[in-house]
Amino acid sequence: MFRLPVCPHCGTVYRYKDTKEAIRKKENVCYHCKKKFLAKRFPYIFVGALIPLVLCIVINIVILSRMENLQLLPLFGVTLVFLLIIYIIIPFFTKFKKTEDKEKK
């Protein structure tokens, strides 16, 4: 699903910025219920990133076939836009999982 992750304990929806921070930290504490969870990216994020990557390659090939003079600026611009798209969608491919507390018995 294409949505931001939620706390596995209380269901609090995390904002985009908070999700990016949670990915960096790996182990986090919910700001609402104060319970620990892990932030993990889905293993199929590469499939989600593959679609913009293939589109980028196709558009670059079309640009190269239409241009008489080789100019790298349009190719660089298209590639940069698609890399930005891939970077932006990463938090939507994240899942929060409960941590196993070894202290609890």
Quote the pLDDT of residue 101.
60
Read off the tokens for 73. 């600026």
Mean pLDDT of all residues in 51-71: 83
Q: Stretch 51-63: mean pLDDT, rounded?
A: 85
Joined tokens for residue 89: 């969608």
- Tell me what the pLDDT averaged over the chain comes to: 82
Residue 47 has pLDDT above 60, yes or no: yes
Report, as an integer, the average pLDDT of 2-31.
86
Domain ranges of the chain: 16-98
- pTM greater than 0.75: no
Summarize the confidence of residues 12-35 as an average pLDDT.
Answer: 87
Answer whether residue 105 shows pLDDT above 70: no
Exposure string of 41-57, with b = 16+ CB inside 10 Å and e = fewer, is: eeeeeeeebeebeeebe
Quickly tell me which residue has 């932030």 as its tokens: 39
